[in-house]
Amino acid sequence: MLKLGVNIDHVATLRQARYKGREDVGEPNLLAAALTCEKAGAHCITVHLREDRRHIQDRDVFELREKIQTRLNLEMANIQEIIQIALRVKPDIVCIVPERHMEVTTEGGLNAVRQEKYLAGTIGRLLDAGIEVSLFITADPEQIRAAARLKSPFIELYTGGLAETVGTPREEKELERLIAGAQLAHELGIKVNAGHGINYMNMDRIYRIPHLVELNIGHSIISRAMATGLEEAVRQMLKLMEPYSL
């Protein structure tokens, strides 16, 4: 069964627009959103603790770790301050992502080839602490082979390129890259997740990517929740994921 991780960063984005510095009384309530996603059947709650704390705050991560019953996926850059927090929180899995100060959301994959020696120590520390690790990378063979050398148990394939090309002549090429990348990772013994830009309209394309374990979806679910409510938005996404076959 393909699993769903719901990224609730944009719940915090809305809260911070009015309650920055007063998160304990602010709305929408991040923990309540996470618990609603759990109730609807989400298999994982995903949050990105950014260096600039633009949406998720430290207290959010600790509260989620204490209160949710499903898995906690902490997205983070390879930054010592955030690594220390991860080691204290002990999420079920950490997804190491690139982070640029001017981006609205994560744009593109991590360059694991260029940063291999810097990632090795971080991955080792997290694994030694009993935390699973994923690298957020593009479906490039060299990036996937770097993940294998780094002994990362998971990768998360960046699907933003596919999302941006749906309905254009480039769509099939992007799908072929993702299919080949997932197959290579599987052959190398790496588990495969996927995320970025996946929504209710392009899910049928995701069906063609083999060996997927989990999808991490945020913006689309939170956006639909404005019309349907969060619980129903999660249920609708889970329903769309049912036809997927490994």
Enzyme catalytic residues = 48, 75, 196
**How many residues in total does the chain contain?**
246
Which helix (H) or strand (E) is 3 found in, with range? strand 3-7
What does the DSSP assignment read for 82-145?
HHHHHHHH--SEEEE----TT-SS--S---TTTTHHHHHHHHHHHHHTT-EEEEEE-S-HHHHH
Quote the CA–CA distance of 155 and 99 in Å, as a whole number.
17
Quote the CA–CA distance of 125 and 236 in Å, as a whole number.
38
**Residue 117: which residues within 8 A CB-CB, separation 6 or more?**
none
Q: What is the bridge-based pairing of β-strands 3-7 and 212-217?
A: parallel
The residue type at 30? L
